[in-house]
Amino acid sequence: MARYDKGHRDTTRRHILDIASTQFRESGIAAVGLAAIMSEAGLTNGAFYTHFSSKEDLVRAVLLDALERREQRHKDNLENGVALETTIRDYLSPRHRDRAATGCPTAALAAEIARHPKATRDAFTGKISDIIALMAAQMPQGSAAERRRRAISVYATMVGALQLSRAVNDTQLSEEILADAAKAAMHLAGEP
């Protein structure tokens, strides 16, 4: 039996997570099988179970990882004084729209997550709540409850607009959706 370098297991798990994350966001969770993920990872199907107990376990891990990365961006923006307007404009950009495989997991996967087991939805809910709290903290005005209400509206506007902009096959309409939603989200956030 071959011995692997220290950290090999963690590196392999990370590799599987990255591939699954890209494939899930690009094609949808239901459309992606474990065989496709493992094939792209250059591993056997049996090796999957060394790292995850099931596809649902992988889905949860992918969601937590991708949402933690997005949460870290919000934390960095908050710590560095980046205006919420910048976050909104970056999110609702043609570049983000065109890169679903590496973009926001919420916009790419929310409709599917609604049909997953409670444990997966609980993980998703916790991370979304954290992101909403960080967005509320970026808002300069209003009580904590008011900023939270506005952050929920802003985030829902952003996610929904990104989903619509990806779904339509008219480029002009897609760009209108992004631009108009960005204006609406900034208005909701109290940005000038």
Condensed to tens digits (0 to 9), the pLDDT of residues 44-60 reads: 999 999 999 999 999 99
Q: pTM score, two decimals?
A: 0.90
Quickly list H helices, the chain: 8-27, 34-41, 45-51, 55-79, 84-91, 94-97, 105-113, 118-138, 144-167, 171-189
CATH of the domain at 176: 1.10.357.10
Per-residue pLDDT tens digits for 83-99? 899 999 999 999 999 99
Tokens of 191: 């940005």
Domain membership of residue 143 as a residue range: 56-189
Would you say residue 123 lies in a domain? yes
Contact 71, 131 (CB under 8 A): yes
- Asked if the model's pLDDT at residue 6 lies above 70, the reply is no
Task: Work out how many domains the chain is built from and give that number.
Answer: 1
Q: Average pLDDT in the 117-141 region? A: 95
